[in-house]
Amino acid sequence: MRQLGFNAYFYAPKSDAILRSRWQSPYSSADRAGLESLVKIYQKQGLHFGVGLSPLGINQSWTSEGKRALSDKLSQLVDLGVDFLGVFFDDMTGLSTDSVERQLDLLHRVRMQVDDMPLFACPSYYSDDPVLEEVFGPMPPGYIEDFGKALPTHTTPMWTGPEVCSNEINEEHLDAVVRRFGRPLALWDNYPVNDGRVRSNHLYIRPLSNRASRRDLVTAHFCNPMNQANLSVLGLIGLSTTHNLGSKVQLQAFASEFFGPELHSWLVGHAAEFEEAGLLGWPRAKRAAIKRSIPKGNPAAVNEVIDWLDDKYAFDPACLTDV
Q: Which of 50-54, 94-98, 186-190, 222-226 has the lowest mean pLDDT?
A: 94-98
Q: Is the pLDDT of residue 41 over 50?
A: yes
The more confident residue out of 317 and 288 is: 288
Which pLDDT score, from 0 to 100, does residue 99 have?
Answer: 87
**pLDDT tens-place string over residues 216-244:** 999 999 999 999 999 999 999 999 999 99
Mean pLDDT of the chain: 94
pTM: 0.94
Quick check: helix, strand or coil at residue 190? coil
* Rounded average pLDDT over 125-154: 94
DSSP 8-class letter at 218: E
**pLDDT tens-place string over residues 258-284:** 999 999 999 999 999 999 998 988 999
Query: Pairing state of beta strands 48-53 and 8-11?
Result: parallel
DSSP 8-class letter at 169: B
Q: Is the pLDDT of residue 152 over 80?
A: yes
- Helical ranges in the chain per DSSP H: 29-44, 64-79, 97-114, 131-136, 143-150, 171-181, 232-242, 248-259, 261-276, 284-293, 299-309
All domains of the chain, ordered by start, with CATH? 8-250 (3.20.20.80)
Q: Is the pLDDT of residue 253 over 90?
A: yes
**pLDDT tens-place string over residues 154-203:** 999 999 999 999 999 999 999 999 999 999 999 999 999 998 888 999 99
Which pLDDT score, from 0 to 100, does residue 314 have?
Answer: 74
Which pLDDT score, from 0 to 100, does residue 197 have?
Answer: 87
Q: Is the pLDDT of residue 14 over 90?
A: no
